[in-house]
Structure 1
Amino acid sequence: MQVLGERTGLVLSSSSGGGTRGTSKCWTAKRANNKKGVTKCSHVVPSTAGHVRSSVFRPRAPRFPTRGKPSATADIPYDTFYDVGAGAAVTSESVDNASEWPLGATHSAEQGGVYIRAWIPHGKRVFVEVKKEGETEKFDRVPLHQEGKEPYWGGLLKGIISIGSKYRLVIEPTWNDCYEQEGYEVTRRDPYAREADFDSTWCYVPAPPSAFPWATPPLPPNQALVPWHKLMLYELHVGSFSPEGTFEGATRRLEHIKALGFNCVQLMPITEFGGLWGYNPRQLLTVHSPWGSADDVRRLVDRCHELGLAVLVDVVLNHGASKLNNLWMWDGYGPKNNGGIYFETGKDTPWGRQFSFDKPEVQAYLLEACRMWLREYNVDGLRWDSVENMPRELVKDLNKTLQAEFPAKLNVAELTPETSEAITSAKFNSCWRHTPHFDALKLHKKWTDDWLGLIRHMVDIPEDYPNGYNGVVSILGSHDQVGCRKEGAEDSEGHLHRYFQERLGTKDNWHARAQTRMWWAVNAIGRSLPMMFQGSEFLQRDWWNCEANNRNVHMQWPPIPLEAYAGGEVEGLREEDVWSLHMARCVRAINALRANSEALTSEELRVVHEDFDGRVMGVLRGGEGGASLVVINASENQWEEQNYQVKVRGAPYAASAATLVFNSQAEEFGGWEGSATAGTVQVADGRLHLSIPKWSVLVYELER
């Protein structure tokens, strides 16, 4: 294929072997010293404005670098192969303390410019290209300086660059496995860039994080916005949560989460990714620009904090994207398709190559990918995806460092299979517990003699977890269980992925709705931190996905005003929307009860009543400072004449009475009037005599 060199007017040869104009793909590069081997490079870096990469902007030099060997262009004058025009006099300054500058682009008012620094082990010569302000195609090219014999390059740029300027790195490698596609040089993004064009190699110079006008100033590192044991999490996917599918759109919907009584937003990944869900990171410090800017993220976090909502961000540190990976063969080096400096010692996974965890430079990159959210975006913690695919000692070291710097920030692990080693060995503060979700489904598929043990496992936490907040539980399912990529079909293991009530009989089924309310209440009264995935509060139908061409699997917003969550009549609703309102009211009520109850967030939990045949369990929560009795009826059995006796022996004091404060079968939630014994009930002989509805959770506050 031939491409017209638009800056020079020359016709240049391209070895891409076809493809669309404006996209650079390095697929094959056979090494001279490995005739049988083929290095396959999947690094894809589209250019801007429909142009091919900068490597084809210049005429060929008289000599060619040898693939897989050091470049032979070192003695060719710079102007021989690059027409810098008016930018020929532009240069960068070296500084004495170069190694003390952070990696990436750093604006310095004191130095009067921007210092750019990068780790480039296979760099022969390195340049920065800076887009000229107000120009579509023109840019300046500036050489960077190597820090002695170290694999770092940097330079202070003045006059041509400022906050918001577009820049990118151009590397002439000493070892170039991308030569056949890209020529003498490879044009790359800055791995430490905070913002970048999604479809090009251009990055943006960031403003200092301190420049953002926070409405809620960051708290001291040892102070949490919400105490860990009080957290109630709402998990959302920014791209499908609002109709706009943006950070700004999500920000406008935060009052909904607050109105439901949650106090923490768990964001699925928001760093730049390929695919749909966010778990294929293209690079780890760049905000996913199709959803908005870095400041849009800060505004989302700021608004959360104004509403009293903590923010956790999902980070994916175990692998890079299998496609459109901006770090693949980053500085040109990548023999035998090993991925280059960021991946060469990593293992392949079904999702992409693992990072080179053994390299100090990669370890520092992973640490900065965590530290950035906590320091620059003021988030309240991190959820680490799939940590079983990372070396335990590395995870432990990263956690120790982060906890020393940010002791009040919560670090949550997803570890499969779940185990307390995430807490006791890997030093996380909490760990996702998936099993209660599957235990609940198991009880609906086939009742088991171990049902008491299964429910106990849902409301309590295993003994080897030191604290209740060490677990995060989503009985109704997280994105992993609710999300479906197969249009509702079974996955490779024969599992269906659906919203919870769809697993029990669909939203149209009264029993499915009642059982879903019951299980969320079980979740909310337990020792672990409760979490709900977006849409569950409305009993959303089918499953979740974020396909752009199928809005039906995004968050579905019924026409319900926020104030209706608290009660009152709403006219003109369809029956389906009434069911959604019932669930939302139930969620709000039990969440509010947990938030305001010392008993329900204490470490005290004792099972005081077990009725194997009746399938009723009584759970005592709290201690001397106050206690609540939770009655769980996980069955079709029903007692309507206040003729069921629940034991309350084992209370921290001799309870004399109990007052009903929550009933999942209340009329306003979709149950019926008089379904449970309301008001205050006297304790007689250590027992309460109650009416108990089918498929219900009742909460009674105990009185001395």
Structure 2
Amino acid sequence: MSHPVAQPLCRAHRMPFGAELRAEGVCFRLWAPSHEAVGVELDCATAPLPMRHAGAGWHELLTDLAGPGTRYRFVLPDGLRVPDPASRFQPEDVHGPSEVVDPAAYLWTDAGWRGRPWEEAVLYELHVGAFTPEGSFRAAIGKLDHLVALGITAIEIMPVAEFPGARGWGYDGVLPFAPDASYGRPEDLKALVDAAHARGLMVLLDVVHNHFGPEGNYLWSVAPEFFTERHHTPWGAAINFDGPGSETVREFFLHNALYWVEEFHLDGLRLDAVHAMLDDSPRHILQELAERLRAAAPEREIHLVLENEHNEARRLRRDAAGRPLQHTAQWNDDLHHVLHVAATGESSGYYAEYLGDTRKLGRALAEGFAFQGEDMPYRGHPRGEPSAGLPPAAFIGFIQNHDQIGNRAFGERLGALTSPAALRAIAATYLLLPQVPMLFMGEEWAAPQPFPFFCDLGPDLAEAVREGRRAEFARFPEFADPARRARIPDPMAEATFQSAKLRWEQAEQAPHAEWLGWYRRVLAVRQAEIVPRLPGIRHGGAFEVLGESAVTVRWDGGKDVLHLAANLSPRPLDVALPPGRVLWQEGEPGGAWFLRWSVVEAAA
């Protein structure tokens, strides 16, 4: 019996914003309630075309003079020419014209893809520009087989929304619908997602809905109603999610989330710094975003990941069947901090809150958050909510990510800060933890390249960024010397960006090849032993403090019981060995940097 062959298909998200292709031509729509008259400047027309009022602050033009590939700008009454806030592509960067894109031109081959359950997730955070020598979406496809062989099941891509210049982390994006042209065209990102799905890899994208970058944000001129002085963030006036005009602002960001999931077939989003998405309305924007996304793709596994300094456990609640009611998981900074200070002994900044506090270590391992409502002196206020009732898979564990590496003055990776024995101990802890693990690109072979902060802003901002970066570290004793501060890499320099690029040939050289083999073996144990037990672990574990940086933890999986015994310190200590079949061990019992994972299995 023959089976029908899946035919290529098109995907497009219909938006009320921007440039939409129609049978009659292109419909341009701009929300600019403060302006009486707005025009559209086309690269194929001699003069701007006037837009008509469409009510409620909207301006609209349907014209057959434009089509796929047409470049255009909106023209404001004072003559200012601005890119489309909902541009799908910016071929000439943030100050240039937008380009009309036909989203249906890309033919997808992943018609049968429905995603993967969250419990199977092993995340790999990557920066497109530094991941390969070419630094492009297409080049990243060539490394996907490496990730599959490693044991990765999902890639998490740092923000790609159009940002100023040729290089940057992506958190200063200003055009949230346009994949950055330095990485390729929109169809190149689609090809990366398509290729990942063909290999069984999920793709999550980091999006920034809490602020716009300092250069190229024309929304202040187009629609100042996008911002509010009722709330303030570290970047200034907050985005207007709850004041006059907020209905349209909310729709802009809701459609942005839907756009990435529908038009680019992404498996989920990582929402950056949601504690800065300030909203006093009865239905918080985060709740509405989760509801809209899940309703739009009920047949798919959609995963929504939070970065949330407030540790709001309520956003991670599950229903009776264990499914997320809103958001799937949160980056667990507390877990990173307890493991980092155990391995390095560092006490600067917020690390002082964790160093030597083994109860926080046990709590972060067993229950997710170390701070669950207690005062955090470094922050100056209570932090967190009780999290022990959540399943461990509601938390994402890591020992390295872009923030924790790149926010260091020199961007050193963890391998430069501690011993191999310490690094193996804390890596084996988080990789086999019932929380979902996330590697940072190159971690699997102990890549020596730093990941310093880099950007490419215009001359009006460049010097302020340089000085601000150095001033940021002046309050730390190790940078009291101006000469040492002067050695902090210049974030504007091309060389700083180049220093972050992975050197893939090193993965085949000693000692990096040995690290790669070690990571593959640990992740194989996770796949075989931990992942099948995660659906049964519906709440946090129980821990006991044995000594400084030494704990035991147990998780009841309904049938089987998972055990961890760990001495995460350079001091020998007799640790009661856990019962059951040994899954993984580092070090020797009674020695430094010792841990053992084991499982007590239900009787057959």
TM-score by length of 2: 0.75
Q: Give me the whole-angstrom Cα distance separating, in 2, the residues matched to 1:664 and 1:258.
A: 25
Equivalent position to 1:195, from 89, 93, 105: 89
Q: Which moved more, 1:524-533 or 1:692-701?
A: 692-701
Question: CA distance change for structure 1 residues 284 and 558 in 2, over 3 Å: closer, same or farther?
Answer: closer
Give the aligned partner of residue 317 of structure 1.
209
Q: Does 1:423 align with 2:316?
A: yes
User: What secondary structure does 1:549 align onto?
Assistant: helix
Q: Is the 1:271–1:284 Cα contact (8 Å) retained in structure 2?
A: yes
Equivalent position to 1:355, from 235, 239, 246: 239
Q: Is the 1:383–1:414 Cα contact (8 Å) retained in structure 2?
A: yes
Give the aligned partner of residue 152 of structure 1.
58
What aligned pairs does 1:211-250 form with structure 2 within 5 A after superposition?
A: 211-217=105-111, 219=113, 223=114, 225-250=115-140
User: What secondary structure does 1:532 align onto?
Assistant: strand
What aligned pairs does 1:505-516 form with structure 2 within 5 A after superposition?
A: 512-516=419-423
Q: Does 1:500 align with 2:500?
A: no
Q: Is the 2:52–2:60 Cα contact (8 Å) retained in structure 1?
A: yes
What aligned pairs does 1:280-359 form with structure 2 within 5 A after superposition?
A: 280-330=172-222, 340-345=224-229, 347-357=231-241, 358=243, 359=246
Give the aligned partner of residue 373 of structure 1.
260
Give the aligned partner of residue 396 of structure 1.
287
User: What secondary structure does 1:541 align onto?
Assistant: coil
Q: Does 1:590 align with 2:517?
A: no
Give the aligned partner of residue 466 of structure 1.
390
Q: Is the 1:483–1:544 Cα contact (8 Å) retained in structure 2?
A: yes
Q: Is the 2:449–2:502 Cα contact (8 Å) retained in structure 1?
A: no
Question: CA distance change for structure 1 residues 169 and 453 in 2, over 3 Å: closer, same or farther?
Answer: closer
Give the aligned partner of residue 436 of structure 2.
529
Structure with higher helix content? 2
Give the aligned partner of residue 86 of structure 1.
none
Question: CA distance change for structure 1 residues 465 and 285 in 2, over 3 Å: closer, same or farther?
Answer: farther
User: What secondary structure does 2:505 align onto?
Assistant: coil
User: What secondary structure does 1:578 align onto?
Assistant: coil
Q: Is the 1:410–1:429 Cα contact (8 Å) retained in structure 2?
A: yes
User: What secondary structure does 2:516 align onto?
Assistant: helix
Q: Is the 2:366–2:543 Cα contact (8 Å) retained in structure 1?
A: no
Question: CA distance change for structure 1 residues 342 and 583 in 2, over 3 Å: closer, same or farther?
Answer: same
Give the aligned partner of residue 5 of structure 1.
none
User: What secondary structure does 2:285 align onto?
Assistant: helix
Q: Give me the whole-angstrom Cα distance separating, in 2, the residues matched to 1:599 and 1:226.
A: 13
Q: Give me the whole-angstrom Cα distance separating, in 2, the residues matched to 1:125 and 1:616.
A: 68
What aligned pairs does 1:550-699 form with structure 2 within 5 A after superposition?
A: 550-551=496-497, 553-559=499-505, 577-597=509-529, 598=531, 600-604=533-537, 612=546, 617-620=551-554, 623=557, 629-636=563-570, 646-648=577-579, 658=581, 660-664=582-586, 694-699=592-597
Equivalent position to 1:102, from 11, 16, 40: 16
State the Cα deviation string for residues 88-118 of structure 1 (Å, max 9, x = none): xxxxxxxxxxxx972211112xx33111122
Stretches of structure 1 lacking an aligned partner (at least 5 in a row): 1-99, 133-137, 173-183, 332-339, 489-496, 505-511, 562-572, 649-654, 666-674, 676-690
User: What secondary structure does 1:329 align onto?
Assistant: helix
Give the aligned partner of residue 71 of structure 1.
none
| Deviation of 1:541 (Å) | 3.0
Give the letter for the 1:423 counterpart: L
User: What secondary structure does 2:335 align onto?
Assistant: helix
Q: Give me the whole-angstrom Cα distance separating, in 2, the residues matched to 1:513 and 1:480.
A: 22
| Deviation of 1:395 (Å) | 2.3
Give the aligned partner of residue 478 of structure 1.
401
Q: Which moved more, 1:342-351 or 1:399-408?
A: 342-351
| Deviation of 1:269 (Å) | 0.6
Q: Is the 1:609–1:646 Cα contact (8 Å) retained in structure 2?
A: no
Give the aligned partner of residue 494 of structure 1.
none
What aligned pairs does 1:110-189 form with structure 2 within 5 A after superposition?
A: 111-132=23-44, 139=46, 141-147=48-54, 149-158=55-64, 160-172=65-77, 184-189=78-83
Q: Give me the whole-angstrom Cα distance separating, in 1, the residues matched to 2:337 and 2:551.
A: 19
Q: Does 1:539 align with 2:431?
A: no
Question: CA distance change for structure 1 residues 455 and 501 in 2, over 3 Å: closer, same or farther?
Answer: farther
Question: CA distance change for structure 1 residues 199 and 460 in 2, over 3 Å: closer, same or farther?
Answer: closer
User: What secondary structure does 1:128 align onto?
Assistant: strand
Q: Is the 1:130–1:165 Cα contact (8 Å) retained in structure 2?
A: yes
Q: Give me the whole-angstrom Cα distance separating, in 2, the residues matched to 1:535 and 1:367.
A: 33
Question: CA distance change for structure 1 residues 542 and 150 in 2, over 3 Å: closer, same or farther?
Answer: closer
State the Cα deviation string for residues 51-93 of structure 1 (Å, max 9, x = none): xxxxxxxxxxxxxxxxxxxxxxxxxxxxxxxxxxxxxxxxxxx
Q: Give me the whole-angstrom Cα distance separating, in 1, the residues matched to 2:551 and 2:368.
A: 16
Q: Is the 1:322–1:352 Cα contact (8 Å) retained in structure 2?
A: no
Equivalent position to 1:432, from 309, 317, 331: 331
| Deviation of 1:199 (Å) | 5.0
Give the letter for the 1:695 counterpart: W
Question: CA distance change for structure 1 residues 388 and 617 in 2, over 3 Å: closer, same or farther?
Answer: closer
Q: Is the 1:518–1:696 Cα contact (8 Å) retained in structure 2?
A: yes
Question: CA distance change for structure 1 residues 330 and 608 in 2, over 3 Å: closer, same or farther?
Answer: closer
Question: CA distance change for structure 1 residues 610 and 465 in 2, over 3 Å: closer, same or farther?
Answer: closer
State the Cα deviation string for residues 14-55 of structure 1 (Å, max 9, x = none): xxxxxxxxxxxxxxxxxxxxxxxxxxxxxxxxxxxxxxxxxx
Stretches of structure 2 lacking an aligned partner (at least 5 in a row): 1-13, 319-324, 347-353, 370-386, 455-493
Q: Give me the whole-angstrom Cα distance separating, in 2, the residues matched to 1:394 and 1:701.
A: 41
TM-score by length of 1: 0.65
Q: Give me the whole-angstrom Cα distance separating, in 2, the residues matched to 1:485 and 1:278.
A: 18
Question: CA distance change for structure 1 residues 146 and 304 in 2, over 3 Å: closer, same or farther?
Answer: same
Q: Give me the whole-angstrom Cα distance separating, in 2, the residues matched to 1:194 and 1:608.
A: 49
Give the letter for the 2:414 counterpart: F
| Deviation of 1:384 (Å) | 0.9
Question: CA distance change for structure 1 residues 218 and 418 in 2, over 3 Å: closer, same or farther?
Answer: farther
User: What secondary structure does 1:289 align onto?
Assistant: coil
Q: Is the 2:408–2:452 Cα contact (8 Å) retained in structure 1?
A: yes
| Deviation of 1:498 (Å) | 3.1
| Deviation of 1:241 (Å) | 1.3
Question: CA distance change for structure 1 residues 346 and 327 in 2, over 3 Å: closer, same or farther?
Answer: farther
Q: Does 1:518 align with 2:425?
A: yes
Give the aligned partner of residue 65 of structure 1.
none
| Deviation of 1:267 (Å) | 0.9
Q: Give me the whole-angstrom Cα distance separating, in 1, the residues matched to 2:356 and 2:72.
A: 65
Give the letter for the 2:395 counterpart: G
Question: CA distance change for structure 1 residues 307 and 599 in 2, over 3 Å: closer, same or farther?
Answer: closer
Give the letter for the 1:186 counterpart: L
Q: Does 1:454 align with 2:377?
A: no
User: What secondary structure does 1:612 align onto?
Assistant: strand
Count of residues paired in the alignment: 505
| Deviation of 1:319 (Å) | 1.1
**Could you tell me the percent identity over the aligned residues?**
24
State the Cα deviation string for residues 629-686 of structure 1 (Å, max 9, x = none): 54434245679xxx986242xxxxxx6xx3x443446xxxxxxxxx6xxxxxxxxxxx
Q: Give me the whole-angstrom Cα distance separating, in 2, the residues matched to 1:448 and 1:103.
A: 49
Q: Give me the whole-angstrom Cα distance separating, in 1, the residues matched to 2:180 and 2:307.
A: 22
